[in-house]
Amino acid sequence: MSRRIPKLTPRVAYAAIPLVDQFRPPSHDDLTRLFRSTELSQGDPGQDGVGKVKRMRAVVEYALATDRTKGARMVDQLIQRVRAVGGFRENSENYIGQGVYIELRDAFRDGSFDLTPEGELIPRLLDSVPAAEQDEVLRVYIKRIRQGASDAALVTGTGKDLLEATARRTLDRHRREYAGHDFPGTLFHAFDATGLPTPSGKLLDTANKEFSADPRDGFKEALYLLGLQINRLRNKEGTGHGRAFPSEVSDKEAKLAAEAMGLISELLLGDSE
């Protein structure tokens, strides 16, 4: 399955030119291979007496005039190349600069795509993405959250947070209806659709009554309870042989539990860094 690529608009095209710079990658040879692989070499004046930026501008203008589909592929591959050499890391000597990033990000937003600070392109409107591709888009948001990008908690263009958007996508995948459900109902049915256990009604009623009225405190109380359940998981008889969890715990369950341990540990350490 091919990944969706943003269309080449004049704004995107010209905002992409500064990705090429005299003093950082890609090199002249990199550009030659890029133009050849995207079948845009006819627009390339070559490197004899011509700088990299002028070559890029010439090919961009050629693509705009003759084949924007190939131009879109070229810009997408260029972003991937720049990302690979650290062009989107602020501490890298190859960083493109905040101004270049913001201009390119805003250009893509006009076409309903987001360019993340890490250089990943994500469709802004999840509902406009074919169902088969929505899981991959959500995984990009999950990855960004794990890397500390708190803005990824809101799935752009849906008005929903990542958890609700994923729960709804889960119900769609299992051909379940979510119309009329509030968030607790949507999440409950998403768990049920995937065969995951859900708390009893009695436990939910108790939690709703006993958790703090302040949602910030209630969230931390829930983390405490999560920590207790992780400890139960680890303390089952049979842990050992270099594993942090018993052998009957799947690798995926162990990975999730380990990440939750890190989350709770970070909360406990507070601002001690």
Q: Is residue 110 part of a domain?
A: yes
One domain, residues 177 and 232: no
Sign of CA dihedral 189, 156, 152, 137: positive
Domain boundary (198, 227, 255) is at 198
Query: To which H or E segment does residue 122 belong?
Result: strand 121-123
One domain, residues 70 and 142: no
> ω into residue 246 within 30 of 0, thus cis?
no
Predicted pLDDT at 1:
43
SS3 label, residue 211: coil
Neighbours of 165 (CB within 10 A): 21
What are the tokens at 29? 């040879």
Predicted pLDDT at 248:
79
One domain, residues 168 and 116: no
Predicted pLDDT at 150:
56
Predicted pLDDT at 271:
61
Predicted pLDDT at 157:
47
What are the tokens at 103? 């201009």
One domain, residues 80 and 148: no
Strand partners, 161: 154
Q: Is residue 4 part of a domain?
A: no
Q: Is residue 3 part of a domain?
A: no
One domain, residues 190 and 241: no
Q: 188 burial class (0-12, 13-18, 19+ CB within 10 angstroms)?
A: middle
Predicted pLDDT at 151:
58
Predicted pLDDT at 47:
80
Give pLDDT < 70 ranges for the chain.
1-3, 124-133, 144, 146-160, 179, 236-245, 271-273
Percent of the chain clearing pLDDT 70 (strictly above):
84
One domain, residues 163 and 250: no
Say if residues 230 and 260 touch (Cβ distance below 8 Å). Answer: yes
Which positions ≥6 away from 105 have C-beta within 8 Å?
Answer: 114, 115
Q: Residue 104 belongs to what domain range? A: 10-123
